[in-house]
Amino acid sequence: MDTITAIILAIVEGITEFIPVSSTGHMILTANLLGFEDQEPIMKTYEIVIQLGAILAIAVVYRQRIVDLLGLGGKRSRGGGIMPARRLNLIHVLLGIVPALAVAFFARDFIKSLFSAGTVLWALVAGGILMIIAEWVNKRKIRVTAHEMDDLSYGQALAIGLYQIISVLWPGFSRSGSTISGGMLSGVSYKASADFSFLIAIPIMCAASGYELLDSFKYFTSDTIWDFAIGFVISFIVAYVVVILFMRLIQKIRPTHFAIYRFILAAVFWLFILN
């Protein structure tokens, strides 16, 4: 892997990891166009590294939320005591991540056996359809009870966690696509669903990437460390900018827009990977 290739892949990862367009599909397509097999060990290790860079970006964006969740933040009440600054708590987060983590832990080998270019292509299409349905239901058929992330009920957090299982079992479906759609189908606003999706990405992706890194640490050598470092930094910067822009433009970029993009990507994927 040369430095230019490392930079391109890091940019793609940073752009696609947290928006609902399937970073897996983009990484496979990009690697293929650059002449790489995405299953090569060095490639898989590099993907883990740049994914960790993207995770750090989310942690920085949501740093105040993390402080509050850990009980390190708060505001003074009139009586001088500490009041929780937010209603969202660690139980919401656990309900959002435990189902997917449990499935990933017990079905890791089975999930890997499902991975193929074909499954990713169909996941792009199916995920796009789910997003269109979720937006339609959210606007017309269901009463939105959680307009902000602090309005989430435990039941809604669990529902989002259960929808996240789809992305675990179906490579290429998009973790953010499944969680945002799951939230909208459960009476959570688009913005609150996206917020919660980004927040729970931190622990679940740290766990998944950290576990995979244990098997890949041997590929950190003097020949690769420089490109790994460059990729980590670039992925961090790009992911940070993308998430900030996404949350600012969220009312203008609807799930249906991402769904249409996914259908286009699926067509490109079929032309360059499967045809």
Backbone angles phi, psi at 3, to 5 degrees: -65, -40
Provide the residue count of the chain. Answer: 275
Dist. CA 129–CA 127, nearest whole Å: 5
Q: Cα(208)–Cα(213) distance, rounded to whole angstroms?
A: 9
pLDDT for position 246: 94
Q: Rounded mean pLDDT of 69-98?
A: 73
Confidence of residue 39 (pLDDT cuts 50, 70, 90): low
pLDDT exceeds cutoff 70 at 73: no
Alpha-carbon distance of 111 to 127, in angstroms, equals: 17
* 67 has a pLDDT exceeding 50: yes
How many independent structural domains does the chain possess?
A: 1
Residue from 220, 200, 271 nearest 18 by CA: 200
Residue 153: domain span: 3-274
Identify the pLDDT of residue 210. 85
**So what's the pLDDT on residue 214?**
81
Measured distance CA(214)–CA(45) in Å, rounded? 10
Task: Report percent pLDDT > 70 for the chain.
Answer: 93
Which of 38-47, 135-144, 254-263 is predicted with the least confidence, judged by mean pLDDT?
38-47
Asked if pLDDT for residue 110 goes beyond 90, the answer is no
Beta bridge partner(s), residue 188: 146
What is the rounded CA–CA span in Å between residue 217 and residue 192? 36
Of the candidate ranges 31-35, 48-52, 203-207, 259-263, the one whose mean pLDDT is the lowest: 31-35
Lowest mean pLDDT among 35-49, 65-79, 160-174, 212-226: 65-79
**3-state class of 252 per DSSP?**
coil
Do 60 and 240 touch, CB atoms closer than 8 A? Answer: yes
Which amino acid is located at 231 in the chain? Answer: G
- Contact indicator for 206, 55 with CB cutoff of 8 Å: yes
**Residues 3-22 pLDDT 10s:** 898 899 999 999 999 999 99
Are 182 and 162 a contacting pair, CB within 8 Å?
A: yes
**Can you give the pLDDT at residue 77?**
47
- The answer to whether the beta carbons of residues 188 and 196 sit under 8 Å apart is yes
Name the residue type at position 169.
Answer: L
pTM of the model: 0.90
Q: Which amino acid is at 190?
A: Y
What average pLDDT does the structure give for the chain?
89
